Amino acid sequence: MFILCSSSKTRAQLLKKAGIEYIQKNCDFDEEKIKSKDPYEFVTLASFGKFRECKKCFENENIIAADTVVSDGKKILRKAKNKDEAKEILLAQSGEKIKIITSMWVSLNGKIFSRLDETIYEFYEFDKDDLEKYIQSEEWIGKAGACMVEGFCKKYIKTVRGYESTAMGLCVEELKNIIRSEHAY
């Protein structure tokens, strides 16, 4: 049994689909105070900050903490704060390659594991009417880079390299490997 230290519905769905037992709880960590512009450093610091706070709250429990960012190769495409920002962020991805990077920290049986995984997508150009419909739906709220590879963006995927679960916020394939390695002993 794990404590998923995240309020993300998508991460919870990934664990449920993978058959990994969890309870979802959250500890406060303000990732806005992270100043790094490097997507790999930022996501690692954010996920570790969440993990550290959760370890304080749930000291002897098995814990999963994760964070995800989207990068267009030049900058981090954060969570959009409004519809205009969502449109700007999504237009930066239209017809382009992006990296979706997820950092995960796991405490299992007293051991700590860390993973940094990425999935690279190349998208076809987004249809402007379809994009507008997606923005109006507000499904992008709370999503790194306003990107939903399991939703709106799926039909525009030209190429993909990596796991969809990584892009959705938690690499369950690698989490299962961690769990298997611990139970093998």
Residue-by-residue DSSP string for 12-80:
HHHHHHHT--EEEE-----GGG-----HHHHHHHHHHHHHHHHHHHSTTS-EEEEEEEEE-SSSEE---
Using DSSP's 3-state secondary structure scheme, residue 88 falls into helix
Residue 144 near residue 68, CB atoms below 8 Å: yes
pTM over 0.85: yes
Residues classed as catalytic: 67
Q: What is the pLDDT of residue 184?
A: 53
The tens-digit pLDDT sequence of the chain (185 residues) is: 999 999 899 999 999 999 999 999 988 888 889 999 999 999 999 999 999 999 999 988 999 999 999 999 889 998 999 999 999 999 999 999 999 999 999 999 999 999 999 999 999 999 999 999 999 999 999 898 999 998 999 999 999 999 999 999 999 999 999 999 887 54
Structural domains present in the chain: 2-183 (3.90.950.10)
Q: What is the pLDDT of residue 185?
A: 42
